[in-house]
A and B are shown apart, each in its own frame.
Chain A
């Protein structure tokens, strides 16, 4: 008996004439993940991708990887049978044993996509329920709250039996919306922001600012680790690392302390602008959440935003810390984010930052020094590194 994986589309099932573009992109994204696990063949039919292992690749490992691919609505492991109900009924015990042996209740669902099949859906359902009960007499039927739902789908190419449907990551395929640059800090919020925009189809690359000796090697390792972890959902990530020390020192020496935070954010934005322009990014993503800290009040965001020339996406702007943390835990970045290494944002942070800065004052403060040439120099000294999906190169405890 052959076991395959059925991948059902999420939102892209609703697309119109451009649906195929999204489907191709999803299938390519899936292929890129699964080629690290083994050899699989792919076919598509009725908003479903059928993935069949060609070697003894572990289907369960493949399912784990697929759970993190955007564009997938649901994942089902299925046994493939010929379209003959008796064959299914006589052989289902073996396939369902793992799922049903220790369960106490179940229900069945049947779907007949192939209308030439001699039984209709209610008939299949009835007969399937009987067959399951024959094989596992200890079970009881519970249509409202079953422990396991056994599904049988009669499709063009065969009968697909499964006992497990896993909710997919949702969203649309990464790459279908273009690419954007995420300001990755090392905190909890920015990886979540990146995850959320990747879910909307963006390729997410990351930009990070370092200020040695004020920030440590471990702080950088931490951010690189976050980047690496984000590849699970985002796919390969380009990591831009900007040397930021001299700019921060110049700010300290030339500008009023109370504006440090906002000025710092503006400098970061300006650098991101140049890189977006140069490397063809369509937007900047930040992990800002309204009123979370002094630089994220409405007036402060106004001032930061005024330095941006590209659209700035702030997907967590309306979320509170608990909601953001919940997602960070789910995507596996939380534990790295809370490692206690300082990033550059806390270097020279003012005792009493201005929570209601005025753009006029900020622009005036910026005039005090020739920051533009420093910004250009920082961009020219920026290093780029690629984090590839499935490769672990950063080790941090």
Chain B
């Protein structure tokens, strides 16, 4: 099996599985229990938070804020967006602009659409229209901007935004603008910053069902889920200590290395250059672990299933859109025709150049079979 769909999900690493197993079979106390067993679980959670706060910035200094554990990035994005806009509902009168992009994941984009229906102005910028996209987002922020929401790394192409610069400049322009970063694909890949940062566990070799929202000190949101008041009353419900332990272990054990990904991407581009009529949709401003390209004349789904026959797994654009046209590639300036035959390859640290070569061999064979 050659698994090249790591932007869709990753294999839980051994460290994660072990940590989850330990937490389930050994220390299964409720973190809210005041006795020793509860305290042990609470400490597992506190340790995990500490580790995450350092990991998220990608630097040596920790993120100045707290971590909210969620069921995944969809909940993180919903909590960030709904939580901050609900909070500001009373002042909507003058502050009603939201700046975002045309390349957001549906878990953010659909919430933004709801805001639009509620009468807020949502500006969605498309990368194809700007040479300096980070700068364009900064320029779009003005006195009336209540929220900026942008993804750090696009899941379909790997396109990245200079997040530290974006955050610094937006705050300088309007300190009241809340900056939300959807960092599902950016976490552990590029430096991050923001008032609210969403991440997902299963994209970094942890289990599914766990994600987090980083909340900067001073950034206030309202909860989506009410109840027993866990997690500072921002997300009620007993904390899933085993999932949290697994996430913590996966972050610590994460091996993704920029250089290795760059080497794999170069290898892939080199192999693809030997084939005819290939369009590369992931340029130099993309993280190297995601490569989107179009094999003209072969529809994405046919390519996907053909590779599947040789146990090679890739994606046709975004896994979440399940064949539905997402419009994201269009926002990058990819033509409809090229989007129809787009393939996304996404690496993990376990992939090898040899696997890339086998992939390209199979692509070549598929082209021969299908392109007539």
**A residues in contact (CB < 8 Å) with B:** 58, 60-61, 64, 102, 216-218, 221, 392, 395-397
Contact assessment for B168 and A102 in the assembled complex, using a CB-CB cutoff below 8 Å:
yes
Which residues on the A side are within 8 Å of B172 (C-beta)? Answer: 102
**B43 contacts the other chain (CB 8 A):** yes
Residue of A60, A61, A102 ringed by the most chain B CB atoms within 10 A: A102
Which residues on the A side are within 8 Å of B94 (C-beta)? Answer: none
Closest to A61 in B: B60
**B47 contacts the other chain (CB 8 A):** yes
Nearest Cβ on chain B to A23's Cβ, whole angstroms: 28
Number of A-B contacts (CB under 8 A): 30
If A102-B169, A216-B34 touch, whether A397 touches B39 (CB-CB below 8 Å) is no
**B17 contacts the other chain (CB 8 A):** no
Contact assessment for B61 and A217 in the assembled complex, using a CB-CB cutoff below 8 Å:
no
Contact assessment for A221 and B39 in the assembled complex, using a CB-CB cutoff below 8 Å:
yes
Nearest Cβ on chain B to A72's Cβ, whole angstroms: 19
**B42 contacts the other chain (CB 8 A):** yes
Contact assessment for B60 and A397 in the assembled complex, using a CB-CB cutoff below 8 Å:
no
Nearest Cβ on chain B to A59's Cβ, whole angstroms: 11
Contact assessment for A58 and B60 in the assembled complex, using a CB-CB cutoff below 8 Å:
yes
Query: How many residues on chain B are close to A (CB under 8 Å)?
Result: 17
Question: How far, in angstroms, from A60 to B59 measured CA to CA in the complex?
Answer: 11
Contact assessment for A217 and B31 in the assembled complex, using a CB-CB cutoff below 8 Å:
no
Q: What 15 additional pairs, Cβ within 8 angstroms, besides A221-B39, A395-B43, A396-B46?
A: A58-B59, A61-B60, A61-B61, A102-B168, A102-B169, A102-B172, A217-B36, A217-B39, A218-B42, A395-B46, A396-B43, A397-B42, A397-B43, A397-B46, A397-B49
Q: B29-51, CB under 8 A of A: which get 1 and which 0?
A: 00100101001001101110110
Which residues on the A side are within 8 Å of B47 (C-beta)? Answer: 395
Q: Give residues of chain B (223-248) contacting chain A, Cβ–Cβ below 8 Å.
A: none
List the 7 closest A-B pairs by CB distance, nearest first: A395-B46, A397-B46, A395-B43, A395-B47, A61-B60, A397-B45, A397-B42
Nearest Cβ on chain B to A214's Cβ, whole angstroms: 13
Query: What are 15 A-to-B residue pairs whose CB atoms are below 8 Å?
Result: A58-B60, A61-B60, A61-B61, A102-B168, A102-B172, A216-B34, A217-B39, A218-B34, A221-B39, A392-B50, A395-B47, A395-B50, A396-B42, A397-B42, A397-B49
Nearest Cβ on chain B to A335's Cβ, whole angstroms: 9
Nearest Cβ on chain B to A387's Cβ, whole angstroms: 16
Question: How far, in angstroms, from A64 to B59 measured CA to CA in the complex?
Answer: 13
Contact assessment for B39 and A64 in the assembled complex, using a CB-CB cutoff below 8 Å:
no
Contact assessment for A397 and B31 in the assembled complex, using a CB-CB cutoff below 8 Å:
yes
Nearest Cβ on chain A to B168's Cβ, whole angstroms: 7
Closest to B232 in A: A397
Nearest Cβ on chain A to B48's Cβ, whole angstroms: 9
Q: Give residues of chain B (1-59) contacting chain A, Cβ–Cβ below 8 Å.
A: 31, 34, 36, 39, 42-43, 45-47, 49-50, 59
Which residues on the A side are within 8 Å of B45 (C-beta)? Answer: 397
Which residues on the B side are within 8 Å of A58 (C-beta)? Answer: 59-60
Closest to B49 in A: A397
Nearest Cβ on chain B to A228's Cβ, whole angstroms: 12
Which residues on the A side are within 8 Å of B49 (C-beta)? Answer: 397
Which residues on the B side are within 8 Å of A217 (C-beta)? Answer: 36, 39
Which residues on the A side are within 8 Å of B43 (C-beta)? Answer: 395-397
Closest to A216 in B: B34
Which residues on the B side are within 8 Å of A61 (C-beta)? Answer: 60-61
Cβ contact of B39, chosen from A60, A102, A218, A392, cutoff 8 A: A218
Which residues on the B side are within 8 Å of A396 (C-beta)? Answer: 42-43, 46
Which residues on the A side are within 8 Å of B42 (C-beta)? Answer: 218, 396-397
Question: How far, in angstroms, from A61 to B60 measured CA to CA in the complex?
Answer: 7
Question: How far, in angstroms, from A392 to B43 measured CA to CA in the complex?
Answer: 13
Question: How far, in angstroms, from A221 to B61 measured CA to CA in the complex?
Answer: 24
Closest to B67 in A: A397
Question: How far, in angstroms, from A395 to B52 measured CA to CA in the complex?
Answer: 13
Question: How far, in angstroms, from A61 to B61 measured CA to CA in the complex?
Answer: 7
Which residues on the B side are within 8 Å of A102 (C-beta)? Answer: 168-169, 172
Q: B318-351, CB under 8 A of A: which get 1 and which 0?
A: 0000000000000000000000000000000000
Question: How far, in angstroms, from A218 to B41 measured CA to CA in the complex?
Answer: 12
Question: How far, in angstroms, from A58 to B47 measured CA to CA in the complex?
Answer: 25
Closest to A103 in B: B172
Nearest Cβ on chain B to A276's Cβ, whole angstroms: 32
Question: How far, in angstroms, from A9 to B43 measured CA to CA in the complex?
Answer: 40
Contact assessment for A64 and B61 in the assembled complex, using a CB-CB cutoff below 8 Å:
yes
Closest to B231 in A: A397
Residue of A64, A221, A395 ringed by the most chain B CB atoms within 10 A: A395
Question: How far, in angstroms, from A64 to B47 measured CA to CA in the complex?
Answer: 22
Nearest Cβ on chain B to A33's Cβ, whole angstroms: 14
Closest to A225 in B: B46
Closest to A147 in B: B172
Q: Give residues of chain B (286-330) contacting chain A, Cβ–Cβ below 8 Å.
A: none
Question: How far, in angstroms, from A64 to B169 measured CA to CA in the complex?
Answer: 21
Nearest Cβ on chain A to B171's Cβ, whole angstroms: 11
Question: How far, in angstroms, from A102 to B36 measured CA to CA in the complex?
Answer: 52
Which residues on the B side are within 8 Å of A392 (C-beta)? Answer: 50
Closest to A395 in B: B46
Nearest Cβ on chain A to B348's Cβ, whole angstroms: 28
Question: How far, in angstroms, from A217 to B39 measured CA to CA in the complex?
Answer: 8
